[in-house]
Chains A and B, each alone.
Chain A
Amino acid sequence: MTKYVELHAHSYYSLLDGASPPEELLRRAAELGMEALALTDHDAVYGAVPFVKHARELGIRPILGAELTLAGAQEPHHLTLLVENATGWANLCQLITLARHHAPKGAALLPEALLAEHTDGLIALSGCRLGAVTTALRRDDPSSALQAAKRYREWFGRDHFYIELQHHRLPHDERLNAELATIAEQIGVPCVATNNVHYARREASRLQDVLVCIRHLTPLDDAAALCRPNSEYYLKSADEMRALFAAYPEAITQTRRIADRCSFELTFGLQELPVFPTPDGADAVTYLKRLCGDGLNTRQLTPTEPIDRQLTYELGVIERSGLANYFLIVWDIVRYARAQGILCQGRGSAANSLVAYLLHISPVNPLEHDLVFERFLSDERQSVPDIDIDFQADRREEVIQYVYTRYGHAHAAMACTFITFRARSAIRDVGKALGLPPEVLDRAARTIDTFKSGRIAEAGDLEARLGSRATWQQLSDLADQLDGFPRHLGIHNGGMIVMGAPLAARLPTETATMPDRYVVQWDKDALEEAGLVKIDILGLRMLSAIAESAQTVAALTGQPLDLDGLRFDDPAIYAMVSAADTIGVFQVESRAQQQVLPRLQPRRFNDLIVSISLIRPGPVQGNMVHPYLRRRLGEEVVSYPHPRLQPALAETLGVVLFQEQVVKVAHDLAGFTGGQGEGLRRALGSKRAYEALDRWHTAFLDGAGRSRVDQRLADAVFDTLRAFGGYSFPKSHAAAFAVLVYQSAWLKHYHPAAFYTALLNHQPMGFWSPAAIVNDAKRHGIRVLPVDVNASAARCTVEAGTIRLGLNQVTGFGDVASERVVTVRQSGAFQSLADVGRRTQLPPRLLENLILAGGMDAWGKTRRSLVWELGKLDYRPDTLPLDLPEDRLNLPPVSLLDVMGLEYELLGLSLRDHVMTLYRAQLRERGVLGSRDLDRCQDGDAVTVAGQILVHQAPPTAKGHHFITLEDEDGFINIIVRPDEYAQYRRVLRESPLQIIEGTLQRSRGVLNVIAGSAAALR
């Protein structure tokens, strides 16, 4: 029987023009008994890696290719290209790169002349209805069609060009195919049948129509001309294709012959890296050893026996893996940053390596923290480990530019990332296509949980407004299918690829939104899977804040701060962290952290590592937090699910907290090798790896069974690992971050003014708003001075131990506007509003913001009268500087509440007394307690409290509980709202900034929470 191979298939990586992921196409191909399948997305190989990976798993031969968009004499047209061999891959990459670089972002257009230069190793099929040949035939222009076909035959060669026949049961398909077959005969090339597949199964044609509508921003009702007229673009069986092409049986057999010719396999490796030029021509290993020797000195390490042994071992593994050159490249980047005074440190698994520590890539000595080098690198592990480095966010660009300069733009690019549809955006987009009114979709998207669970009746009149249950069902089904589809391309947050050979010959690049930035067509998972080394150059605002704090302190004291020299052993720092006095401190400042720290009572560096790893969705979801705390506090006996797990879990009292422990548990209980353990850990961390996880589950139970572990117990342990999921921190990562926890806590304790100032200057960052940071500063006795047009610098500054807010804190004042005020002011202080306007020429909108934020209070005029004055002022450059006589108008003063409201709006904070002080007398009379009063209350007391909502959280792990932090003039009140109460008081809790809450006090080891019984707006 004739076999059929589909050679023209689009996946959802054709971005809004393909309704199936590659794996779905492959699964269907497997069901149909197809031996091979080609992936030909539009001008891209985005899906190449997952396609190849899944194809191999299913035993299908993957053929790579693309449908290219060409520009010639006529309108843009399509051409199907298939990769025959490695030369063909290089040419396809170059063609896609050229096409992308000749079009605006997101589009592609390849000048035909360039195509001719890159045809080796590629097989071309003449294309779909938009191919040059077919387009000409559809225009009734057979001679142009013939010319186009001849042109392709010349460029690709007689053996590498085919006339592509398609039959979608459209009115003219039969005639077109007859004409195409004639042309094939005339020019002496074979015909080949394809189905221009856009989805795996017919049912998905609806999703395809919706995608087309999303792409064209058109509702389905108006999209008849854009959508295909039927649903025949699915992956068809050999029988179906044979029936459609009964007149051209050769076109079917040809598919198999072409597939057999395409033998290219994707492989990459370390050899792709550029060679780091060592001094004196030393080889990379020798030079790396020399640098490690230097590192022992700079890290002030005595080469003891364990250090010697570890270093020799690591260098051996690095040498055998051929990674020395890679380390040198990373070291060079870090060295450059340090030389420029840019703070940086490695994160992630690199912190497991002593070599990385000695090269100053990572900040922790792995031997001091029992870190496991094999998590980073081992002789067994085949893949190249990523090294992720955080740089201070405000200067990361300098580092990226250094890499571009050092290796050249043709050799360096950023990884891409796919912006995907999320449940909410999917509802909105599908709904728009279905023509539903935006306000109804907003409602549906907001109440998505109710919506998706099918309990639409609970959403009140939503069903009625959606028109009908059928419409709702369509919306819900399609949005569900769309969830997770890639929508467009973005730049990965820092992942850089560098290559010795020009990138374009290895994988395509395209332009990004940022000027002078190129992204490769693979995301980080694809790059890793393909074995391509990525260096993550990440921006971390906390590093910027730490760097700025250190500079401020150095400038004020004349002494440089040696943060690297901190010994992590200051009891005062641990006391502060244990008291949850951590607003602004890296990683341990969130409300959740603050709830746990008083119970955890960190006393040493390792406790900071635990704290970072513990308060994460993973451990919370896995129900790890309370067992760990109870065990730490001695309230629960430390036990292990199986005695064999004691070595792995002893450091965390029997509870799984670190990724490293997943690998150890899998080894100790189920006999997994390190590589298998790592595979399991990755599957646990992947959102879409259900099938892989099932396989690991079986392997885990089998392995445990072989070593006579009770199946139920093994199952329970696996469930624990599953719950722990991919949310976990590797311990090495937590250790690197713990350094920043300590440094930021140290700065907050010893140099608070400088620290708070830096925090304000680098917002947004962390958990708390500027208002919370300023209030925290005030509670620590630091004065905060207002924005003042004559006194403020562009950024917040420290003046004699007090903080002066910078102009950058005023809404709308970016760097440019702030700098302009400061520059203009150098010629003399501003005398009046008119003077500010004339000299700065800032737009009235910004001046109004400055007035209302209090920046001109120093002149003694009310803000309202200044705004009034601004309205009459004409300070354009060509007007005479006439001061108009002042109005005698008496404007009524604005209430204090209004003033504060405006300050919040324009500054994000208010320096006045806390808003709650305005209500305090009234509240006292009503018996409402403040945050300080709660200290005197007992567990279980009925209390009424009030405050301003600072944080409102409903983490998905909390099963419908809402956590609200109220702030008053003295501190915070933590509120827990249970699901029933939330349902009842949702509106008031969402809409009123000031709340009165009645409830019950819960007191446990220094942590206070009020369990809300009712809520009301404070007026």
Chain B
Amino acid sequence: MTRVWLTGAPITAEHDAVGSPLRFTWAGRTHTVQRVANQWRVDVNWWQLRLWRDYFKLTTDTGLLVIVYHDLVDDAWYVQRLYD
């Protein structure tokens, strides 16, 4: 099962100098990033509601495989997808 949050579930995250997440807190629990498997940036839909985001597909020490994104418009972090 994969769980998807269409608008993203808010998290708090710490990141390194180039913007890659190091650890994040989600629903009261902190997850440390083990490996970023892939990352990409989108900047689309500007004529309606701009989606300017850095996406990270990563694994954590807590055993999660998730896609989180950094919203560059409002400088906030979200979980978008959780792979069970």
* Chain A interface residues toward B at CB < 8 A: 168-171, 173-174, 205-206, 209, 220, 224, 227, 229-232, 243, 434, 471, 474
Closest B residue to A435 using CB positions: B47
> What is the interface of chain A mostly: helix, strand, loop, or mixed?
loop
**A523 to chain B: closest CB distance in Å?**
33
- B38 surroundings in chain A (CB, below 8 A): 171, 174
**B30 to chain A: closest CB distance in Å?**
27
- B44 surroundings in chain A (CB, below 8 A): 224, 227, 229-230
Closest A residue to B18 using CB positions: A243
Closest B residue to A168 using CB positions: B41
- A471 surroundings in chain B (CB, below 8 A): 47
**B68 to chain A: closest CB distance in Å?**
15
Task: Give Cα A220–Cα B44 distance, bound, in whole angstroms.
Answer: 10
- Is B43 within 8 A of A231, CB to CB? yes
Closest A residue to B40 using CB positions: A171
Q: How large is the interface on B (under 10, 10 to 19, 20 to 34, 35 or more residues)?
A: 10 to 19
B4 within 8 A of A: no
Task: Give Cα A173–Cα B43 distance, bound, in whole angstroms.
Answer: 16
Contact with A along B38-60 (1 / 0, CB 8 A): 11111110110000101000000
- A173 surroundings in chain B (CB, below 8 A): 40
Please name 9 pairs of A and B residues whose Cβ atoms are closer than 8 Å in the assembled complex, sorted by A.
A169-B40, A169-B41, A170-B41, A171-B38, A171-B39, A224-B44, A230-B41, A232-B41, A474-B47
- Partner pick for B42 among A229, A434, A474, CB 8 A cutoff: A229
- Is A434 within 8 A of B43, CB to CB? no
> Told that A230-B40, A230-B42, A232-B43 touch, could you supply 5 new A-B pairs with CB distance under 8 A?
A168-B41, A170-B41, A171-B40, A230-B43, A471-B47
Closest B residue to A244 using CB positions: B18
- B52 surroundings in chain A (CB, below 8 A): 230-231
- Partner pick for B46 among A206, A224, A243, CB 8 A cutoff: A206
**B16 to chain A: closest CB distance in Å?**
12
- B42 surroundings in chain A (CB, below 8 A): 229-230
Task: Give Cα A232–Cα B43 distance, bound, in whole angstroms.
Answer: 9
**A240 to chain B: closest CB distance in Å?**
10
- Is B46 within 8 A of A169, CB to CB? no
Indicate the member of A206, A224, A231 with the most B CB atoms within 10 Å.
A231
**A434 to chain B: closest CB distance in Å?**
6
- A474 surroundings in chain B (CB, below 8 A): 47
- Is A220 within 8 A of B47, CB to CB? yes
**Among residues 19 to 51 in chain B, which have CB atoms less than 8 Å away from a CB atom of chain A?**
38-44, 46-47
Task: Give Cα A471–Cα B41 distance, bound, in whole angstroms.
Answer: 25
- A224 surroundings in chain B (CB, below 8 A): 44
- B40 surroundings in chain A (CB, below 8 A): 169-171, 173, 229-230
- A227 surroundings in chain B (CB, below 8 A): 44
Task: Give Cα A221–Cα B39 distance, bound, in whole angstroms.
Answer: 25
Closest A residue to B17 using CB positions: A243
Indicate the member of A169, A170, A206, A224 with the most B CB atoms within 10 Å.
A169
- B54 surroundings in chain A (CB, below 8 A): 169
- A169 surroundings in chain B (CB, below 8 A): 39-41, 54
Task: Give Cα A205–Cα B52 distance, bound, in whole angstroms.
Answer: 12
- Is B43 within 8 A of A205, CB to CB? yes
Task: Give Cα A110–Cα B43 distance, bound, in whole angstroms.
Answer: 34
- A220 surroundings in chain B (CB, below 8 A): 47
**A278 to chain B: closest CB distance in Å?**
65
**A547 to chain B: closest CB distance in Å?**
56
Task: Give Cα A209–Cα B47 distance, bound, in whole angstroms.
Answer: 10
Task: Give Cα A232–Cα B39 distance, bound, in whole angstroms.
Answer: 14
Task: Give Cα A209–Cα B54 distance, bound, in whole angstroms.
Answer: 20
- B41 surroundings in chain A (CB, below 8 A): 168-170, 230, 232
Task: Give Cα A912–Cα B28 distance, bound, in whole angstroms.
Answer: 93
- A243 surroundings in chain B (CB, below 8 A): 18
- A229 surroundings in chain B (CB, below 8 A): 40, 42-44
Task: Give Cα A231–Cα B43 distance, bound, in whole angstroms.
Answer: 6
Task: Give Cα A997–Cα B2 distance, bound, in whole angstroms.
Answer: 77
Indicate the member of B18, B41, B42, B46 with the most A CB atoms within 10 Å.
B41
Task: Give Cα A220–Cα B38 distance, bound, in whole angstroms.
Answer: 28
- A209 surroundings in chain B (CB, below 8 A): 46
**B70 to chain A: closest CB distance in Å?**
12
**B73 to chain A: closest CB distance in Å?**
12
Instruction: Identify the 8 closest CB pairs spanning chains A and B, nearest first.
Output: A169-B41, A230-B43, A231-B43, A171-B40, A230-B41, A230-B42, A220-B47, A229-B42
**B49 to chain A: closest CB distance in Å?**
10
- Partner pick for B47 among A171, A230, A434, CB 8 A cutoff: A434
**A617 to chain B: closest CB distance in Å?**
38
**A429 to chain B: closest CB distance in Å?**
14
- B18 surroundings in chain A (CB, below 8 A): 243
- A232 surroundings in chain B (CB, below 8 A): 41, 43
Indicate the member of A171, A224, A434, A474 with the most B CB atoms within 10 Å.
A171
Indicate the member of B38, B40, B42, B46 with the most A CB atoms within 10 Å.
B40
**A624 to chain B: closest CB distance in Å?**
47
Task: Give Cα A170–Cα B40 distance, bound, in whole angstroms.
Answer: 5
Task: Give Cα A317–Cα B70 distance, bound, in whole angstroms.
Answer: 70
**B81 to chain A: closest CB distance in Å?**
14
Task: Give Cα A243–Cα B18 distance, bound, in whole angstroms.
Answer: 8
Indicate the member of B40, B44, B47, B54 with the most A CB atoms within 10 Å.
B47
Task: Give Cα A220–Cα B46 distance, bound, in whole angstroms.
Answer: 10
Task: Give Cα A265–Cα B43 distance, bound, in whole angstroms.
Answer: 39
Closest B residue to A173 using CB positions: B40
Closest A residue to B38 using CB positions: A171
Task: Give Cα A449–Cα B32 distance, bound, in whole angstroms.
Answer: 58
Task: Give Cα A471–Cα B42 distance, bound, in whole angstroms.
Answer: 22
- A230 surroundings in chain B (CB, below 8 A): 40-44, 52
Indicate the member of B39, B44, B52 with the most A CB atoms within 10 Å.
B44
- B47 surroundings in chain A (CB, below 8 A): 206, 220, 434, 471, 474
- B39 surroundings in chain A (CB, below 8 A): 169, 171
**B75 to chain A: closest CB distance in Å?**
16
Task: Give Cα A206–Cα B46 distance, bound, in whole angstroms.
Answer: 7
Closest B residue to A205 using CB positions: B43
**A176 to chain B: closest CB distance in Å?**
12
Task: Give Cα A1016–Cα B42 distance, bound, in whole angstroms.
Answer: 59
Task: Give Cα A434–Cα B48 distance, bound, in whole angstroms.
Answer: 9
**A30 to chain B: closest CB distance in Å?**
26
Closest A residue to B53 using CB positions: A230
Indicate the member of A230, A434, A474 with the most B CB atoms within 10 Å.
A230
Task: Give Cα A227–Cα B46 distance, bound, in whole angstroms.
Answer: 12
Closest A residue to B54 using CB positions: A169
Closest B residue to A229 using CB positions: B42
Task: Give Cα A243–Cα B17 distance, bound, in whole angstroms.
Answer: 11
Task: Give Cα A434–Cα B46 distance, bound, in whole angstroms.
Answer: 11
- A170 surroundings in chain B (CB, below 8 A): 40-41
**B15 to chain A: closest CB distance in Å?**
14
Task: Give Cα A736–Cα B52 distance, bound, in whole angstroms.
Answer: 61
Closest B residue to A227 using CB positions: B44
Task: Give Cα A878–Cα B39 distance, bound, in whole angstroms.
Answer: 75
Task: Give Cα A170–Cα B42 distance, bound, in whole angstroms.
Answer: 8
Task: Give Cα A474–Cα B50 distance, bound, in whole angstroms.
Answer: 13
**A233 to chain B: closest CB distance in Å?**
10
**A245 to chain B: closest CB distance in Å?**
12
Task: Give Cα A474–Cα B38 distance, bound, in whole angstroms.
Answer: 34
Task: Give Cα A206–Cα B47 distance, bound, in whole angstroms.
Answer: 8
Closest A residue to B39 using CB positions: A169
Closest B residue to A474 using CB positions: B47
**A641 to chain B: closest CB distance in Å?**
52
Closest B residue to A224 using CB positions: B44
Task: Give Cα A205–Cα B18 distance, bound, in whole angstroms.
Answer: 22
- A434 surroundings in chain B (CB, below 8 A): 47
